Structure 1
């Protein structure tokens, strides 16, 4: 690793479902691995699509302590290393079915933070904590409670060049914790009219999060996914270029090979696939390396087009 800043973190996020967010995240992580980077992939989605897509369904159903406990119980934050699972391309912090309760728990924690820092609040933080499972008033010390993933990753990130976070397909505290931890986002988007509203909401959400937490969220770029040759696709690509005119825009065209790789539990780089879109993911990885100050790739990869 050539940077002195610790691991580089990027959250792949868009609250609109069906954008292929998880497929993008897995293949970006695979491309970074192909460039010789050590990657930790974090599945923050309670549905566990990435965990399934990396062939780790057993981890999704494991007994406590789970990812839920690491995020919501400060006494178990340092147990995150126990949860990390090895994959041939990357290490994985898998999702777990218990994460379905995390949104509620993190919302209570954030309310406790606001009450404790509001001199006019007439609410007992212990009363709020009684509505949760793990959260306790003494564990919430800052003006917000969105730093739980950041704290958990700080104990393991020195082993990795990159942490890639696959966020849930909805806005809420879980997504906010992922973005707060990364402070860099990669935005997948479909080239269809319904994406306009989702992108507008994303921009609003980033502004609100920055205002609440006093951080700056950097955009790494936009991935137009499942692009086809229609007028709607062309118009949406033009719109995305206008909205994100200062950032890279990559086009991933619809390819069955990407779906087959996902079903095999790998990225296209480890699956027995040859697909021209692999070049796009390598371009994204190269842009990441440049932005985060990494040296030239440690190994090269030749892609055979089908």
Structure 2
């Protein structure tokens, strides 16, 4: 890969409903499909990434909660998915108590970073951290552990306002706990080409952030929305649909950016 054993990418946006988990699942699947060994760490107590990859709640004997509190390693908590090369550390509702349990601990922000520094976690070429839709201690752990942040951004009126808050947060994290944290890129989601407002949002975001914005636009797509209810990524559920094809293009862009970064 690179000088790092792997590449850890936090997928974050404090706003809900922007396609964050959908992006985590389908980007991971696309990366796995081209031969990368990928791990998702589900850090959202709702566990949507775990459910969307077909992980039954009864099978989540260990979870990201156990990894964060330090009782078990990543390799002990990891589960294989139906996608070759793609594994997940699932989530359970136990995560709801995480912040309260360790809020007084000096290392509370670095629990995930320490876990991902172990050799069993470093065996994956990409680790994607799926965060809850809020800026809390779970998201802070993800940003402290990550090399970069990938931001899914819905093509809607308040997108830029929410993005500026998130960029401020990333800057704060950079100044306090992770000085090397970078923005992997902004991916525009739920794009409807028939909607003039969506077109304007795309134009505004590209004007403000330039090359940080991926060329790929993730369209609004019924098949992508249906896929989680079948416990499958859209790429497995319907490879040929517009949403699946867009996530394959996004994976190609992510890898291309990694190559450029390493060559720089």
Alignment length (residue pairs): 255
Answer yes or no: is the 8 Å Cα contact 2:68–2:111 preserved in 1. Answer: yes
Residue correspondence of structure 1 range 123-202 to structure 2 within 5 A: 140=107, 145-155=108-118, 156-202=120-166
Write out aligned runs for 1:98-117 (5 A): 98-109=94-105, 113=106
Is residue 2:231 matched to residue 1:276? no
Q: Is residue 43–residue 166 contact of structure 1 (8 Å, CA) maintained in 2?
A: yes
Per-residue CA deviations over 1:1-25 (Å, capped at 9, x if unaligned) read x434211111111000111110111
RMSD: 1.9
Report the secondary structure of 1:103's partner residue.
Answer: helix
Decide whether the 8 Å contact of 2:42 with 2:88 is kept in 1.
yes
Q: What pairs with 1:217-256 in structure 2 (closer than 5 Å)?
A: 217-228=181-192, 229-249=194-214, 250-256=216-222
CA pair 218-60 structure 1, distance change in 2 beyond 3 A: farther
What is the CA–CA distance in structure 1 between the aligned matches of 2:159 and 2:100, rounded to whole Å? 27
Q: 1:60–1:188: structure 2 CA closer, same or farther, 3 Å change rule? A: farther
**Residue 253 (structure 2) aligns with:** 287
Distance 1:198 1:247, change over 3 A: same
Judged with a 3 Å threshold, the aligned counterparts in structure 2 of structure 1 residues 196 and 282 are, in CA distance, closer, same or farther, namely same
Assess if the C-alpha contact under 8 Å between 1:3 and 1:292 holds in 2. no
Q: 1:59 to 1:203 in 2, by over 3 A?
A: farther
CA distance in 1, matches of 2:58, 2:256: 34
The alpha-carbon deviation at position 279 of structure 1 amounts to: 2.9
C-alpha spacing 1:60/1:283, structure 2 compared with 1 (3 Å): same
CA shift for structure 1 position 284: 2.0
Partner of residue 48, structure 2: 49
TM-score by length of 2: 0.89
TM-score, normalization by structure 1: 0.78
The structure having more radius of gyration, on CA atoms, is 1
Do 2:63 and 2:89's aligned partners in 1 also have CA atoms closer than 8 Å? no
CA change 1:16–1:84 in 2 (3 A) is same
Q: Which runs of 5+ in 2 are unaligned?
A: none
Question: 1:62-109 deviations in whole A, cap 9, x for unaligned?
Answer: 3xx542232124xx2x53311100102210000111001112234332
- The superposition leaves residues 18-59 of structure 1 with CA deviations (integer Å, 9 ceiling, x where unpaired) of 111101110100110111111101101111111111111325
Please list every run of 5 or more consecutive structure 1 residues that lacks an aligned counterpart in the other structure.
114-139, 295-306
Q: Secondary structure at the match of 2:138?
A: helix
CA contact (8 A) 2:189 2:218 kept: yes
Which residue matches 1:13? 12
User: Aligned in 2, Cα 1:231/1:277: closer, same or farther, shift over 3 Å?
Assistant: same
User: Residues 44 and 95 of structure 1 are in contact (CA less than 8 Å); yes or no, is this contact kept in structure 2?
Assistant: yes
Partners of 2:211 and 2:188 in 1: CA distance:
15
